[in-house]
Structure 1
Amino acid sequence: MTHSPNPVLLIHGFLDRHTVFKPLTRYLSQQGWEIHALDLQPNDGRQALPVLASQIEAYVHQHFGATQRFDLVGFSMGGIVTRYYLQRLGGNRRVERYVSISAPNNGTLSAYGLPFPGIRQMRPDSELLQDLNRDVATALEPVKVTWLWTPFDLMILPAKSTKLPIGTGVQLPVPLHPWMLSDPRALKAIAKALQQ
């Protein structure tokens, strides 16, 4: 195996289920990674994102050994849920590599479309995002961070809101938000991030 033997945990976005990762799961599994994924409940923004992050914590406790390191991938809303897990629930002590894909790290204007608690938390300058962004560089310092984004994203508005002030940024010319999980260029970039 030419890469880390760490298992990889995939966290989906708004209205998605773990099945959204089928192309990525197939791609990584063929290269020797052990893949895990769970369905966040509910997935429609009606629940605050920290509550969803606690579901990651519970999954890790149930499926990984107490000292086992793992790698974490968060897509879209799942990118904020995973950051909360990393920055507020001690995940930064367990996760070796973190890949954030098209996440509204600095908020998205599309989050004004629904009044639900989890959606409001993805608005620009929300209390949750201000809190997470305040110490992102120090909280994620122990983790190898890669963030992927496309300038053509119509879910993350503006698209550059995905950018983080830490780690390695990868810009991909992928035309649609959901294709960041299936476009061959994105799959290759994710695998590369998990090899660093």
Structure 2
Amino acid sequence: MNIENQQSNPVLLIHGIDDTEAVFHQMRNYLIQRGLSVHALNLVPNNGDVGLDELAKQVSDYVTATFASEQRLDLVGFSMGGIVSRYYVQRLGGINRVQRFITISSPHHGTVVAYASRRPGCVQMRPDSIFLKDLNSDAVILGQLDFTSIWTPYDLMIVPANSSQMSVGSQVIVPVPLHPWMLTDSRSLAVVKILLERIKIKLPLLEKASS
């Protein structure tokens, strides 16, 4: 199938808990080398001390301050950053700004690892939390975007790993053995690049990225 390139949107990367934008160093360089305009911000605090809804406001503020009002963008969220990004899209108007939305190893249905902390952001990422139930109640809205969830069945941070599955959009399984490697594995990088370059609907996507 022939694919026609569209003018690329700027890409915004949103990191996970206890991370900074530096976690995207390899992915960011990879995408920049391929001609994409890539941005990232540091969520503060990054340790779960505030709710993910509060962090999502930082994403909203960054988008407003950085991009022209008519500029569409592509959003990539890793782990907790994927849920923060979803709140921005579903609750703070991001649905009107974002064209392509990718989450990487994000606990869409919670992770039991979050029971290890009582911090507000961690409580929100527990399975069946009020926060996630509310966010998932209208997850169908993501179907208005080119939405994809990338995940690995071997994830020990997202437990169960299939919590990263969504009933809307596409999914890509990249079978890497460790949660942080989802941002550095060559297969993950290649999938993200393809997703950011594809035209919605016209490019079929295999559900598993093989080695």
The TM-score range, normalised by the shorter chain, is over 0.9
Deviation at 1:141, TM superposition (A): 2.1
Q: Which residue does the alignment assign to 1:104? A: 107
SS in 2 for 1:194: helix
Counterparts of 2:41 and 2:47, CA distance in 1: 15
2:160 aligned residue (152, 158, 178): 158
SS in 1 for 2:77: strand
2:62 aligned residue (31, 53, 59): 59
Moved more, 107-116 or 164-173: 164-173
Would the aligned equivalents of 1:3 and 1:194 in 2 still touch at CA under 8 Å?
no
Runs of 4+ that moved beyond 6 A: none
SS in 1 for 2:39: strand
SS in 1 for 2:99: strand
Deviation at 1:16, TM superposition (A): 0.3
Counterparts of 1:64 and 1:53, CA distance in 2: 16
Q: Which residue does the alignment assign to 1:77? A: 80
Identity of aligned residues (%): 51
Deviation at 1:142, TM superposition (A): 1.6
1:145 aligned residue (144, 147, 155): 147
TM normalised by structure 2 equals 0.91
SS in 1 for 2:83: helix
Counterparts of 1:158 and 1:70, CA distance in 2: 31
Counterparts of 2:128 and 2:187, CA distance in 1: 31
Counterparts of 1:3 and 1:11, CA distance in 2: 23
Deviation at 1:3, TM superposition (A): 5.0
- The 5 A counterparts of 1:177-192 are 177-192=179-194
Query: For 1:105-150, what per-residue CA distance to the aligned partner results, in whole angstroms no more than 9, with x for missing partners?
Result: 000000000000000000001011000101001x212210011000
Query: For 1:77-104, what per-residue CA distance to the aligned partner results, in whole angstroms no more than 9, with x for missing partners?
Result: 0010000000000101110000000000
Q: Does 1:21 pair with 2:19?
A: no
Would the aligned equivalents of 1:4 and 1:194 in 2 still touch at CA under 8 Å?
no
TM normalised by structure 1 equals 0.98
Deviation at 1:173, TM superposition (A): 1.0
Counterparts of 1:4 and 1:163, CA distance in 2: 29
Please, which runs of 5 or more residues in structure 2 have no aligned partner? 199-211
Q: Which residue does the alignment assign to 2:43? A: 40
Counterparts of 1:89 and 1:4, CA distance in 2: 26
Deviation at 1:2, TM superposition (A): 3.7
The total of aligned residue pairs comes to 195
Would the aligned equivalents of 1:4 and 1:195 in 2 still touch at CA under 8 Å?
no
Deviation at 1:195, TM superposition (A): 1.3
Q: Which residue does the alignment assign to 1:117? A: 120
